[in-house]
Amino acid sequence: MIKLIATDLDGTMLDDSKRLPENFDTVLQNLNSKNIRFAVSSGRSFCTLKQQFKRYMDDLIFICDNGAYVYDKGEVVSMSVLPDDAVHNMVRFCEEQDLLILLCGKHGTWHNGREADELEEIRKYYVNEQYMEDLSAFDDEIFKVAVFERKGSIETTAYPKLRARYGEYFNVQLSGDRWVDIMNRGITKGSALHKMQDRLGVDYGETMSFGDYLNDIEMLENSYYSFSMENSHSLVKKAANFSTGSNNDNSVMKEIIKLCF
């Protein structure tokens, strides 16, 4: 019996217009009636998820910043803060590479984006965002450094450089075609899901998950009912035990209804 469900948002539960499924309310109510917990698991920060899901604060588990901040029923379950000196180093290195940088912290998201298209991209995922002329002057607890490639796909450009420089000591993950996220080592959506499994007394065989990109792989590996989306990265399809349709076909809700009701 499934007791815990975790799903990525962008490219997974949300359609390409960033909309929730029309039947989300009904499905969540039915899950609650069966005591099945539901976690939204995202690279987005808590302040963004809190605004998007403000009607459901008492119903959902929030796995934010790829697992660096976990919140459940009014309680911070865990949080992982990057060392300030490491953040300063990452800022300098990314500025040298002409990358868009976001410092995702407890009180907001600080960035060096100026152009209209950059701001549009940032605002797709972050609501409490603010431009900083000098990012090294940040004054916040930083959970994640998000890096955006201005010039196109990041997988073959900046990503290898970031992995080479920081991969030994930090978790450097591809989170989108043009995005890389950097968290403390051991911080993933999968490690956060494992914390919630322990907290709720739920095991691998009682857990369901959905994802589409590389930052979802550890989460999928921590659940038997793991689904890759039709639009997933090829490595995500290999990691999942099952597959489903695209994010534009309400596929997450369809699989939940099929297996849980």
**CATH number of the domain encompassing residue 128:** 3.30.1240.10
How does DSSP classify residue 81? Answer: P
> The dihedral of CA 157, 90, 40, 203: what is its sign?
positive
Confidence of residue 249 (pLDDT cuts 50, 70, 90): very high
From the list 234, 226, 230, 182, the residue with the least C-alpha distance to 207 is: 226
Question: 214-240: per-residue pLDDT in tens?
Answer: 999 999 999 999 999 999 999 999 999
Domain match, 97 and 180 both: yes
Domain match, 122 and 203 both: no
Domain match, 74 and 193 both: yes
Domain match, 159 and 212 both: no
Domain match, 116 and 238 both: no
pLDDT score of 47: 92
The predicted model scores a pTM of 0.96
- Which of 137, 159, 184 is the endpoint of a domain? 184
As a whole number, mean pLDDT of residues 159-169 equals 98
Give the 3-state secondary structure of residue 44: coil
Q: Which residue range(s) make up the domain with 239?
A: 4-79+187-260
Confidence of residue 193 (pLDDT cuts 50, 70, 90): very high
Place of tokens 């709720």: 200
Domain match, 71 and 195 both: yes
Confidence of residue 29 (pLDDT cuts 50, 70, 90): very high
Domain containing 57 — which CATH number?
3.40.50.1000
pLDDT score of 17: 95
> Considering its fold, how many domains does the chain have in total?
2
